[in-house]
């Protein structure tokens, strides 16, 4: 799909759909367009067919112009970035439901920031057009191009930059969604490793290295390997390096949990809804999505993606509750619950991350059901050992619309991880599960600035619309863009 920007006369741009964001009080281009249509839009407002409420959409077919339409999207009450993003997403959804092939998005009446608005438009159209790739031949996408119209040349130039960024983020989200949606008998640790290698093929700025179980054993990653012990699928530690600037610049390191299927191991999960445990690799999928976006956008940053990938299965070799393992850091762990496995693979990956002398480290994981109890399916949980990093991520979440909420990381919670038989237990009891999980990880991040995103509530949706969301690719990309040199 092609995205362009223009400041030419709005009515002279060739297209079969015009998306017009407007409130109930028509102004500027909306008022001019209404006048040229003999009051067609204002009459719909007066009749109550279009109230202008934020997110409402209405398709108007232009009289005497076969196949041409105006898509009205309400903006009344959309004063925050989050509300404006919802308006844009509603417009993108309405557009994709039509038979449009060429569309114009009138960048007026919503935000004064053309670059930001254009980026969200491109991202929203890309994600709204996503279809799960089952391997079968699918119908081609009807929509071929979107032109973002700005009222000035300066606005159009800013929009061009925003469109390029938004397309890359949208494609990154779709990459993460596709990997998350694949069934676990296809998307194994080996499959993920092969996809990471393919991502780097022909890319001068990207290299991928995959560590085998034998190599992890030499590194003494006893915690990670304790999770893969019950599976016939070998674990992989995937390392993707994106070098967009000089090597002396310390990288941002992303560590993404990728349990390609989680039965809970010996601490077996209930059967109901277990099919959704193919989504337990969405943290790793988001890292792949970010790397895809970086390749497309060519940001001048250095980023390292580390993806510990494994299944969590019960067999005769599986780790048992009460077993004690030694992590790469040398710290010992009493495994009281084998279904708290994500932290066991992350802790060795976080120790490994230290060798890259990182500027910051962010881990992303569908880690705890407790975060859904605390925050629902709206926002990710954020915990960090550095206030500046936490604030930067919160700001990136607000700007991108992919929000996070900070939770405490206090000593009182860390004390709940005490064990009589090891340096720590892998669970802290029934209370504050999201926080004690982060406290566990924090023990392995003492040498660098670190943040943890628990995306168990936001990485996928259930029910009739079941599928991966591509979050938190937007917040991660916004943070990485802020680090660009």
Distances (CA, A) of 106 to 22, 44, 144, 180, 258: 10, 19, 17, 34, 40
Short-list 339, 340, 384, 378, CA closest to 364: 384
**Alpha-carbon dihedral angle through residues 197, 203, 207, 212, given to the nearest 10 degrees:** 10
Residue that has been written with the tokens 């992350």 in this structure: 346
Residue that has been written with the tokens 């064990």 in this structure: 419
DSSP labels, 21-59: EE-SS--HHHHHHHHHTTTHHHHHHHHTS---BTT-EEE
- Which tokens is 206 given? 């990207």
Q: Active site residue: 278, 343, 399, 481, which one?
A: 343
Helices (H) and strands (E) in the chain, counts: 15, 20
Helix (H, G, I), strand (E, B) or coil at 460: strand
Is 399 labeled as catalytic in the residue annotation? no
Q: How many residues does the chain have?
A: 485
User: 171-201 burial string, b = 16+ CB within 10 Å, else e?
Assistant: bbbbbbbbbbbbebeebbbebbbebbeebbe
Is 269 labeled as catalytic in the residue annotation? yes
Distances (CA, A) of 428 to 131, 230, 440: 40, 24, 9
Residue that has been written with the tokens 């919503």 in this structure: 110
Helix (H, G, I), strand (E, B) or coil at 383: strand
Nearest-angstrom CA–CA distance, 365 and 363 = 7
Q: Active site residue: 269, 406, 443, 449, which one?
A: 269
Using only C-alpha atoms, the chain has a radius of gyration, in whole angstroms, of 24
Nearest-angstrom CA–CA distance, 37 and 19 = 15
Short-list 236, 112, 124, CA closest to 171: 124
Short-list 262, 259, 219, CA closest to 235: 259
- Listed in sequence order, the DSSP H helices in 97-221 are 114-128, 153-181, 189-200, 213-218
Catalytic residue numbers? 269, 343
């Amino acid at each position: 799909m092609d995205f362009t920007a223009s400041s030419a006369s709005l009515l002279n741009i060739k297209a079969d759909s015009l998306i017009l964001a407007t409130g109930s009080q028509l102004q500027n281009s909306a008022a001019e367009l209404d006048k040229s249509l003999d009051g067609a839009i204002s009459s719909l407002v007066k009749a109550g067919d279009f109230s202008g409420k934020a997110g409402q959409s209405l398709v108007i077919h232009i009289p005497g112009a076969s196949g041409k339409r105006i898509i009205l999207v309400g903006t009344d009450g959309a004063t925050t970035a989050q509300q404006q993003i919802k308006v844009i997403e509603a417009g993108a959804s309405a557009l994709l439901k039509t038979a449009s092939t060429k569309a114009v998005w009138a960048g007026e009446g919503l935000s004064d920031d053309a670059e930001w608005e254009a980026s969200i438009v491109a991202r929203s159209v890309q994600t709204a057009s996503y279809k799960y790739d089952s391997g079968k031949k699918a119908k081609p996408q009807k929509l071929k191009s979107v032109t973002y119209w700005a009222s000035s040349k300066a606005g159009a130039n800013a929009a061009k930059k925003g469109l390029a960024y938004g397309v890359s983020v949208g494609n990154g989200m779709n990459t993460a969604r596709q990997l998350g949606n694949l069934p676990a008998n296809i998307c194994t640790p080996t499959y993920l490793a092969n996809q990471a290698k393919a991502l780097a093929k022909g890319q001068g700025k990207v290299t991928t290295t995959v560590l085998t179980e034998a190599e992890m054993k030499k590194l003494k990653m006893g915690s990670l390997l304790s999770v893969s012990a019950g599976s016939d699928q070998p674990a992989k530690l995937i390392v993707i390096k994106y070098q967009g600037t000089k090597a002396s610049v310390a990288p941002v390191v992303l560590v993404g949990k990728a349990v390609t299927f989680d039965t809970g191991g010996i601490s077996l999960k209930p059967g109901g809804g277990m099919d959704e445990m193919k989504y337990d690799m969405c943290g790793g999928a988001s890292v792949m999505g970010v790397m895809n976006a970086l390749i497309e956008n060519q940001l001048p940053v250095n980023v390292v993606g580390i993806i510990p990938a494994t299944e969590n299965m019960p067999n005769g070799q599986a780790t048992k509750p009460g077993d004690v393992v030694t992590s790469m850091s040398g710290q010992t762990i009493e495994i009281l619950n084998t279904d708290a496995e994500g932290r066991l693979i992350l802790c060795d990956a976080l120790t490994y991350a230290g060798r890259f002398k990182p500027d910051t480290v962010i881990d992303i994981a569908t880690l705890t059901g407790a975060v859904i109890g605390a925050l629902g399916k709206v926002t990710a949980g954020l915990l960090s050992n550095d206030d500046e990093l936490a604030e930067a991520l919160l700001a990136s979440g607000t700007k991108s619309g992919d929000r996070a909420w900070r939770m405490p990381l206090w000593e009182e919670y860390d004390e709940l991880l005490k064990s009589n038989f090891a340096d720590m237990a892998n669970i802290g009891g029934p209370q504050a599960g999201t926080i004690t999980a982060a406290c566990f990880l924090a023990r392995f991040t003492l040498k660098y600035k670190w943040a943890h995103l628990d995306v168990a509530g936001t990485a996928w949706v259930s029910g009739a619309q079941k599928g991966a969301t591509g979050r938190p690719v937007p917040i991660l990309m916004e943070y990485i863009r802020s680090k660009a040199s």
